[in-house]
Structure 1
Amino acid sequence: MYTPWTYNSAPTEIIIRNSTMNSDEQQQLKSWLYDIATDRDKNAFTALFSWFAPKIIRFGIQKLNTESAANELLQETMTNIWRKAHLFNGDKGEATTWVYSIMRNLSFDMLRKVRSNREDTLSEDIWPMAEAQLVQEDSFDDHLMSSNLLKNIDILPEPQKEVVKGLYFEEMSQEQLATKLAIPLGTVKSRLRLALIKLKQQIGESK
C-alpha cells in the first residue's frame, strides 16, 4: 500500500526537548489526523510524521535497544496511522494518546518476536548438540538415543521436563502443548527456555 513518506534516520544523536503541549498544538495534531482520514492528505501526513518521528525514534531506541529496530517501529507506527486514521475519535482522547497507544502495542509485538526468535535459536542450537553428545559413536538405535536424552532430561524440574518431552518426543507444537497442559502459551515458552539453558549447562559439564 502506498504511503506518502520515506524516512532515513541520521546517525547523529536525536535530541528531544520536553515541553508541555498546549491546546492549540493538540488541536493541530487532531486536525492533521482528520485530514488524513477524510482526504488522505499527504501534506497533513508529512506534518504529523515530522512531529512524531523523533519522539517515536527516541522511544524505540530506549525500548528496543537498536536504531534499526527504532526505525522499524517508526515506519510500522506511521503506516498504521495512515491506514487507521479514520478510527481516531478526537472526542474520546488526544491525538498523542492514540498515536502512542499504536506505538506501544507495536513495540510489544516486536519485543515478543525478538524473545520468540531467541528461544527458537536457543532450541535449534542446543538440541543438535545434545544429540551429538549423547548418541554413542557406533550406535544409532532410536530407543538408545531416546534413553540417553531422557537421562539428561531427568535433571529438569517436572514442569520443564513435561514441556521438553511434549515438544521433542511427542512432536507437539507449543500451542498444542499449552492446550494439553492447560497453561498459557507464554508459560510453555518460559519453561522451554529454562529447560534448554539447564540442558546446555549439563551437556557442557559432561564434555
Structure 2
Amino acid sequence: MNANINQIYDNNKSCNAEIFFKENNIRIKNDIGCFLKTKFNYITKYDVEEIFQEVAFKIIKHNYLSKYSSDKSSLNTWLYIISRSVSIDYMRKLQKNYQYIDEYEESPAVDIPKSTITIPKGLLSERQNQVVKMVFWGDMRSVEVAEQLGISPQTVRSIKHQAIAKLRRYFGAETERRIVS
C-alpha cells in the first residue's frame, strides 16, 4: 500500500499542511524534545517551539508532504528523521562563536621552546629510538616511517607503543594515561 500525505489528506495543499501539522504537532514536538534531551544538557520549551517551526518550514518549503511514501518508511520514522536533522542544525547555530571584527585583537606571537627532553642512552633500542624520532620529532605518520625503515605500519605502531611504555616507566608517568598519536 503506497500512501502519501496528499492521499491521506485532501489535495488542497494549504489545508493539507495545516491539517497535517494540527494532527502531528505533538508527535513532532515529542521527537524534538526526546532527541534534544539525549544530546544537549540544557533545552527549553522555547527551543522546542523554535525547532518545531523550523521543521514545519522545511517540510513546507521543500514540499516534503508530497514526497512522503509509506513504502519507504513509517510516518513516525519520517517525522523523527526530519525533526532530528533540523534539531541538530538549530543547536549547531546556537553553539557558533561569533566575534565582531572590531573587537578582535591580534594576540602577540608566543615563542614555544623546543622540547628539552633527553632520552638517556641505552633506555630505548636503536629501532625504538629511530621510530620515536621519526614520529615525534619528524612529524611522520606510521605509514611513512614504515616505508623509510622497510617494515609494516603495524610494526611501527608496536615499536612506538613499546618505546612510550619504557619512557613512561623511566619518567614515572606509567600510572597516567594519555592519548599519544
TM over 0.5: no
Relative contact order, higher structure (CA 8 A, sep 6+) = 2
Instruction: Determine which structure has more spread, i.e. the larger CA radius of gyration.
Output: 2
Normalised-by-shorter TM-score class? 0.3 to 0.5
Higher helix share: 1
Query: Normalising to structure 1: TM-score of the pair?
Result: 0.40
